[in-house]
């Protein structure tokens, strides 16, 4: 039988589609790179995923796992064709343990739904990407996603105790444990953030965090971007690690304000959104430090007085990317990470690059952990402008690496930055990573062509295509 017939035999025809419109939808993520899905399937259980993997292997086609498709680095794009495995129907919250503060969940559970479901126990799932109202826990695991609050709480890997995954041959394994430091190598740590290239995660044991007793959310408005960046370094240097420390520049604040009317001070060159969580006495003391450092850099400071005010500030932050649509039809969003002490000079260089290429760039990013997100708004129908975006993008990554940074802080490598990996890793480093991939997936079935450049290891020499023309970093 053919691939699709085999899959329909396993899952039923209703959960296998080759419909042209569906294939189009499932061939890209939220970024700019497009692939070509052969078929899309919607399994409901681990056993069904294992069956799908065995069928794909038999037909020699790739498996590309997909959550909500909110990724920006083409991690879920079927660039080599193959079976796109949607986790949409694997969205059960199997068990919440309020005593041990954990939950077993399906990979298709939506991030914010998990926190909503556990709020009755005054618990939440800490990773909070801007896409959290639609992105899935499985996608968070694949990308080791971050979000504003991972400054204090760490990225997804810090909040995943164990995963159940289907590996090559349809083998089902559980990596990690509800107990600390399980014996043997930490393969859970390797699976998280592996972007679906080692296997497909089918269940996740997440760690939940206690809701904090108190919170202070401050908005600081600055006359210069340098003042804002220096305040970030200054707060950290004073020994305060806030729960979140987010920066928004004037251009971004303006488009957000146009759309939302949140009362953002659009005359400021840069805004900082700072949040501290914990005991009342702690948050008051830490908020005071932030006010002092901000005041030393001539900030206008307001503190959210009600939960509604706080929620509005966060809405302004998390909906920023959507608000850009009023500026230009397309945007290209960067994700790089630099040491926090290099923020001022890195930001200056990034602005200079955009200006030199006559591009409209705006910034909203996780300043507290040095995680930059320069966003270039452009019109993809204009080939000249698109070419300038590409050039600027490459220069921005290079500037971040030169300043001691790395390629991605939270969006992942995927296809987008795959060929830039040699900017930060040696041949031996990449070879070691390729060997690791080979241990899990010797036939290169799972999400081939992602993360590692072609030729990192002998097994991929004849395989995947190079990144297509017109695709940039």
Partner 1 sequence: MTGGDPLAPERAISVAGAPDGVRAVGPVDEGELTHLLQHASATSQKVAVWGGGTHRRIGYDEPPDLVVSTLGLAGIIDWEPDDLTVVVGAGTTVTDLEGELGTRQQSAVLAEWPGGGTVGGAVASATSGYRRLRYGPIRDRLLEVRAVTGDGRVVKGGARVVKSVTGYDLPRLYTGSLGSLGVITSVCLKLWPLTEAVATVRVDTPEAAGAVHRPLAVLETREGVTVLLAGTAAEVQAQLSALGGAHRSCLDYPPPPTGEVSWSIRVRPSLLTVAVSRLPPGSPFVAQHGVGEVTFATTNSFEISDLRSWAEESGGAVVRVAGEGSADPWGTPPSTLPLQRRVVAAFDPARVLEPGRLPGRI
Q: Which of residues 153-172 bind partner 1 (CB under 8 A)?
A: 154-155, 157-158, 167
| x-or-dash string of contact with partner 1, 382-411, rule CB under 8 A | ----------------------xxxxxxxx
Q: Does residue 285 touch partner 1 according to CB under 8 A?
A: yes
41-80: which residues touch partner 1 (CB under 8 A)? none
- Which of 12, 60, 213, 263 binds partner 1 (CB under 8 A)? It is 213
Q: Does residue 284 touch partner 1 according to CB under 8 A?
A: yes
- Which of 103, 344, 451, 473 binds partner 1 (CB under 8 A)? It is 451
Alpha helices in 202-342 (DSSP H): 225-237, 250-260, 280-296, 307-318, 320-323
- Which of 14, 20, 120, 185 binds partner 1 (CB under 8 A)? It is 185
Angle CA 77–395–427, to nearest 5: 65
Q: Does residue 280 touch partner 1 according to CB under 8 A?
A: yes
| x-or-dash string of contact with partner 1, 329-358, rule CB under 8 A | --------xxxxx-----------------
- Which of 80, 246, 369, 444 binds partner 1 (CB under 8 A)? It is 369
Per DSSP bridges, beta strands 102-105 and 93-97 are antiparallel
Q: Does residue 140 touch partner 1 according to CB under 8 A?
A: no
# chain residues binding partner 1, by CB under 8 A: 87
Beta bridge partners of 172: 166
Nearest to 55 by CA among 22, 15, 93, 83: 83
- Which of 439, 455, 461, 463 binds partner 1 (CB under 8 A)? It is 439
The CA–CA distances, whole Å, from 400 to 118, 271, 337, 369, 395 equal 38, 22, 7, 14, 9
> Which one of 33-41, 60-68, 184-192, 296-304 is the stretch in contact with partner 1 (CB under 8 A)?
184-192
CB closer to partner 1, 342 vs 390: 342
Give the single-character DSSP code of 12. -
> Which one of 14-22, 272-280, 388-396, 465-473 is the stretch in contact with partner 1 (CB under 8 A)?
272-280
**Residue 95: how many other CB atoms lie within 10 Å:** 10
For 386, list phi and psi in degrees, rounded to 5: -60, -40
The CA–CA distances, whole Å, from 390 to 118, 360, 361, 462 equal 43, 13, 13, 28
- 3-class secondary-structure state, position 97: strand
Output the smallest distance, CB 8 to partner 1, in A.
31
């Amino acid at each position: 039988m053919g691939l699709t017939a085999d899959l329909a035999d396993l899952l039923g025809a209703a959960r296998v589609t080759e419909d042209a419109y569906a294939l189009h939808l499932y061939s890209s993520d939220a970024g700019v790179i497009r692939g070509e899905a052969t078929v899309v399937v919607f399994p409901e259980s681990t056993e069904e995923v294992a069956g799908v993997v065995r069928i794909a292997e038999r037909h020699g086609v790739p498996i590309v796992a997909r959550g909500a498709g909110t990724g920006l680095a083409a991690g879920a794009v079927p660039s080599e064709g193959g079976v796109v495995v949607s986790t949409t129907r694997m969205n059960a919250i199997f068990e919440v343990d309020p005593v041990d503060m954990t939950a077993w969940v399906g990979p298709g559970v939506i991030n914010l739904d998990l926190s909503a479901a556990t709020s009755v126990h005054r618990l939440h799932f800490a990773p909070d990407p801007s896409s959290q109202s639609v992105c899935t826990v499985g996608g968070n695991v694949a990308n080791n996603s971050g979000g504003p609050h991972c400054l204090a709480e760490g990225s997804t890997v810090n909040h995943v105790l164990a995963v159940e995954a289907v590996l090559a041959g349809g083998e089902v394994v559980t990596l990690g444990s509800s107990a600390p430091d399980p014996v043997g190598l930490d393969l859970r740590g390797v699976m998280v953030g592996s972007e679906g290239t080692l296997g497909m995660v089918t269940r996740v044991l997440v760690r939940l965090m206690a809701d904090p007793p108190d919170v202070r959310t401050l908005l600081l408005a600055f006359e210069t971007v340098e003042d804002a960046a220096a305040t970030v370094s200054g707060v950290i240097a004073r020994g305060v690690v806030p729960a979140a420390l987010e920066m928004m520049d004037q251009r971004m604040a303006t488009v957000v304000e146009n759309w939302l009317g949140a009362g953002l001070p659009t005359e400021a060159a840069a805004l900082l959104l700072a949040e501290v969580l914990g005991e009342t006495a702690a948050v008051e003391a830490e908020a005071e430090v932030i006010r002092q450092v901000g005041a030393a850099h001539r900030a206008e400071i307001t503190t959210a007085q009600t939960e509604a005010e706080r929620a509005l500030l966060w809405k302004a932050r998390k909906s920023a990317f959507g608000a850009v649509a009023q500026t230009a039809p397309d945007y290209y969003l960067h994700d790089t990470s630099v040491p926090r002490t290099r923020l001022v000079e890195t930001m200056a260089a990034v602005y200079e690059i955009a200006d030199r290429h006559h591009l409209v760039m705006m910034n909203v990013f996780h300043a507290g952990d040095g995680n930059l997100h320069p966003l270039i708004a452009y019109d993809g129908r204009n080939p000249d402008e698109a070419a300038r975006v590409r050039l600027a993008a490459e220069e921005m990554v290079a500037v971040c690496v030169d300043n001691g940074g790395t390629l991605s802080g939270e969006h992942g490598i995927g296809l987008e930055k795959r060929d830039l990996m040699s900017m930060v890793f040696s041949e031996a480093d990449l070879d070691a990573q390729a060997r690791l991939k080979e241990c899990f997936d010797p036939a290169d079935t799972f999400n081939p062509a992602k993360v590692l450049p072609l030729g990192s290891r002998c097994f991929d020499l004849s395989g995947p295509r190079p990144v297509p023309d017109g695709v940039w970093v």
